[in-house]
Amino acid sequence: MEDWLFYSLTSLLCLACSLLLRARASAAAAPLPPGPRTVPVLGPLLFLARRDIDVEPTLRRIAAEHGPVFTFAPLGPTIFVAALGAAYRALVQRGAAFASRPRAVSPASGGAPVTVMEPFRYAMLCLLLHMCFGDRPGDARVRAIEAMQRDLSQTSPASRSSPSSRRSPSSCSEAVNKMVSLRRRQEELFVPLIRARREAGAGGDCYVDSLVNLTIPEDGGRGLTDGEIVSLCSEFMSAGTDTTATALQWILANLVKNPAMQDRLREEIAAAVAGDGEVREEDLQAMPYLKAVVLEGLRRHSPGLYALPRAVEDETTLDGYRVPANTPVNFAVREIGLDSEVWTSPEVFRPERFLAGGEGEDVDLTGSKEIKMMPFGAGRRVCPGMALALLHLEYFVANLVWEFDWREVAGDEVDLTEKMLDASDTVRLPRNRPGTAAQTASASDRIEAPCSQQSSQNNTEFPSPTEQTKESETRLRSFCETAVSPLP
């Protein structure tokens, strides 16, 4: 007993000395960014016990008190960057140091589907499936893939490195079991499509063809396995479905609130389209106001609060603060896009700022010259699908405004208050969705119909949609399902 006590006390003393020496060495080099103090052991337990924490306002209060570069450490040090200058220095000037990703730590919770979001998401998924596999699968398989991808995103342990990303051991075990089941389902749906492309010769017309023909020189020149291709295809579709659909919804919500902008955009479309009145991809280049509307939507309402987190492999410094190795670093996309030193009245939705003479004229979305906004990240890890996402947004906004009239219904106004779908800051939506799709813009009997929705925060059920609403929703869904055909 005495030996056990002696060895225990000796071990604890050695550990304490080691931690003290490490802390002193780190302090001598550079301090961590400032942040609220947390009590060891007790602090994380209290944080885990709280289920009502509102993450975004909490982080804003910390930034207001400690500055735009701060540390929040309820479950371990996490560094947040909400200053565009610091973001540029980290992501562009020192891109190699901040090019790593932190380890995945927890699953993300999910929200309920919404009325208008469903056809937007479905259209994006159909488009990406066509690009991925060279042809659109049958509707039953598309629906199965849609359900599987949604379940996967709600269960995935892909880390947001958010302080709100927490789970109990039992729920983590359940999530792992569900992930295994979803992976099997994923392979059942994707592998036949992949093998069909292999048998067809993989001529290079789609994403899967490029993966089938890919070899890995570092691994003996082998090709990718079906399982590896399944993972890459899933990532391809997940990255461009919810985020693009969410951005589209925010843009339309603002056009509903600003009818004059919607009218101006429709006039620009009318002047640019060909004689048959159909908006084509080549017509988009003649629509500067459309591009300004899309950019303003991405600036004012970035689909995510933060870019995918970064990490440094070796300890470094940023603006005089120490960044320990493997510490998650989050860059506040939303706050950077609302910097009042760059943008006039940043809270106001004003597309004109991206036209000639505006502060957003010739804005660099890659951040290679400077960072004014970074909806696609910046530096070495900038989103590789940025150009594709912009094309999709411009195409769908143009067609939806050209084909439908979007306006508020009395008593069911669009509320632009932001609403997070989940605690991992994946996507944010307006509280009230612009669900008032009308007939084509040339029609005289435009339909107004309130949308039905179910809040993922309080599960409040809104009134059931009327027959008129159902007709509008059916018309909108039909349009979204067929609108992808003119695109490559």
Q: Could you read off the pLDDT of 211-222 as tens digits, one per residue?
A: 998 999 988 889
For 97, 98, 142, 309, 381, the CA distances from 312, given in Å and listed in that order, are 6, 5, 39, 11, 13
State the pLDDT at residue 224: 92
Q: Which CATH class is domain 117-307+343-482?
A: mainly alpha
Residue 27, pLDDT above cutoff 50: no
Q: How many CB atoms lie within 10 A of CB 138?
A: 8
Backbone angles phi, psi at 223, to 5 degrees: -90, 175
Q: What is the pTM of this model?
A: 0.73
Residue 299, pLDDT above cutoff 80: yes
State the pLDDT at residue 18: 58
| Tokens at 250, concatenated | 């925010």
Average of per-residue pLDDT values in the chain: 74
State the pLDDT at residue 99: 72
Domain residue ranges of the chain, discontinuous segments joined by +: 117-307+343-482
Residues making up the annotated binding site for heme are 383
Backbone angles phi, psi at 70, to 5 degrees: -145, 165
State the pLDDT at residue 294: 97
Residue with more model confidence, 321 or 454:
321
* Separation between Cα atoms, residue 422 and residue 346, nearest integer Å: 25
pLDDT tens digits for range 97-124 = 777 766 654 433 433 333 567 788 888 8
State the pLDDT at residue 242: 82
State the pLDDT at residue 114: 37
State the pLDDT at residue 405: 85
Residues making up the annotated binding site are 383
State the pLDDT at residue 383: 87
